Chain A
Amino acid sequence: MRLNAVTSHSAILWFVSLLTLLLWLALSLAVPQLISDVSLPASYVLSVVFLGVISVVIALLHARSTPKSISTSIHDLTTQLHRVNQGKSDRIELVLGQGASQTTHQPLADLVREINRYLSMETDRISQEQAFSSEASHELRTPLAGMRLQAQIAQRTENKEQQRTALNNIVLAVDRSTRLVNQLLAYSRLTKRKMLSDITHVNLSQTVQECAHKFATAIGKKQVSLNIAQPEKLPSIDANNAQITTLLENLIQNAVDHIPEHGTIAIGLSSLNQSVSITIDDSGEGVSDENKRVIVAPFQKSEDGKQSGTGLGLAICQRITQLHKGQFTLSDSALGGLCVTLTLPLHQESD
Chain B
Amino acid sequence: MRILVVEDDPILGDGLVQGLTLDSYALDWAKTKSDAQIALTTNQYDLMLLDIGLPDGSGLEVLQGLRKQKNDIPVLILTAYDELSDKIKGLDSGADDYLVKPFDLDELRARIRALSRRAKGSASPVFQVGNITLDPSTHKVTLADEPVKLGPKEFAILRVLMEKPGHILSKAQIEDKLYGWDMEVESNTIEVHVHGIRKKLGKTAVKTIRHVGYLVE
Closest to B100 in A: A141
Question: B130 to chain A: closest CB distance in Å?
Answer: 32
Is A305 a contact partner of B80 (Cβ separation < 8 A)?
no
Interface pair A144/B102, CB less than 8 Å apart: yes
Is B125 close to A, CB under 8 A?
A: no
Q: Which residue of B lies closest to A150 (CB)?
A: B15
Q: Does B61 contact A (CB under 8 A)?
A: no
A67 CB to nearest chain B CB (Å) = 50
Residue of B with least CB distance to A156: B22
Task: Give the segment of B6-14, B89-97, B177-185, B196-204 that binds chain A.
Answer: B6-14
Assess the B55–A301 pair: CB atoms within 8 A.
yes
Answer whether A303 and B102 are a contact pair too, CB < 8 Å, given A143-B11, A153-B19, A172-B11.
no
Q: Is A225 an interface residue (CB 8 A)?
A: no
Across the interface, name the chain A residue whose C-beta is closest to B32: A305
8 Å CB contact of A148 from B18, B80, B81, B102: B102
19 contacting pairs across A/B (C-beta < 8 A):
A134-B81, A138-B81, A141-B100, A142-B51, A144-B102, A145-B103, A146-B9, A148-B15, A148-B105, A149-B15, A150-B14, A150-B15, A150-B18, A152-B105, A152-B106, A156-B22, A303-B32, A303-B55, A307-B10
Which of A145, A148, A301 has the largest number of chain B CB atoms within 10 A?
Answer: A145
For A139, the closest partner residue in chain B by CB is: B80
Task: Establish whether residues B81 and A303, one from each chain, have CB atoms under 8 Å apart when the complex forms.
Answer: no
Task: Output the least CB separation between A210 and chain B (Å).
Answer: 33
> Using Cβ atoms and an 8 Å threshold, which residues of chain A touch B80?
137-139, 141-142, 145
Sort A-B residue pairs by CB-CB distance and give the 10 closest, nearest first: A149-B15, A146-B11, A146-B12, A145-B101, A145-B102, A138-B80, A141-B80, A152-B105, A305-B55, A141-B101
Which residue of A is nearest B7, CB measured? A142
Number of A-B pairs whose CB atoms are under 8 Å?
91
Q: Are B101 and A142 in contact (CB under 8 A)?
A: yes
Bound form: Cα–Cα A152–B16 in Å: 11
> Do A305 and B31 touch across chains, with their CB atoms under 8 A apart?
yes
Within residues 151 to 193 of chain A, which ones have a CB less than 8 A from any CB in chain B? 152-153, 156-157, 162, 165-166, 169, 172-173, 176
- Chain B interface residues toward A at CB < 8 A: 8-12, 14-16, 18-19, 22, 31-32, 51, 53-56, 78, 80-81, 100-106
**Which residues of B are found within 8 Å of A176, using beta-carbon distances?**
11
- Closest A-chain residue to B13, C-beta based? A146
With a CB–CB cut-off of 8 A, which chain A residues contact B18? 149-150, 153, 157, 162, 165-166
Main secondary structure of the interface of A (DSSP, over half): helix
- B11–A147 CB distance below 8 A: yes
CA of A178 to CA of B104, assembled, Å: 22
Closest to B108 in A: A149
* Residue in chain A with minimal CB distance to B14: A169
Collect the chain A residues with CB atoms within 8 Å of residue B104's CB. 148, 152
A254 touches B (CB below 8 Å): no
Determine whether the beta carbon of A141 is less than 8 Å from that of B102: yes
For the complex, what is the distance from the CA of A147 to the CA of B53, rounded to whole Å?
18
Q: Is B8 within 8 A of A305, CB to CB?
A: yes
Known: A138-B53, A146-B12, A301-B55. 20 other contacts (CB 8 A): A141-B80, A142-B9, A147-B11, A148-B103, A149-B19, A149-B102, A150-B15, A152-B105, A152-B106, A153-B18, A153-B19, A153-B105, A156-B22, A169-B14, A169-B15, A172-B11, A176-B11, A302-B55, A303-B55, A305-B54
Interfacial chain B residues near A147, Cβ < 8 Å: 11, 102
Residues of A within 8 A of B14 (CB): 146, 150, 169
Contact call A153/B15, Cβ cutoff below 8 A: yes
Chain B contacts of A146 at CB under 8 A?
9, 11-12, 14-15
With most chain B CB atoms within 10 A of its CB, the pick from A147, A152, A173 is A152
Contacts of B8 in A (CB 8 A): 305, 307
Residues of A within 8 A of B22 (CB): 153, 156-157
> What is the bound-complex CA distance between A157 and B22, given in angstroms?
8
Give Cα distance in the complex from A134 to B11, angstroms. 21
A314 to chain B, nearest CB (A): 15
Find chain A residues with CB under 8 A from B9 CB: 142-143, 145-146, 307
Which residues does chain A contribute within 8 Å of B19, judged by CB atoms?
149, 152-153, 156
User: CA of A169 to CA of B32 in the docked complex: distance in angstroms?
Assistant: 21
B residues within 8 A CB of A148?
15, 102-105
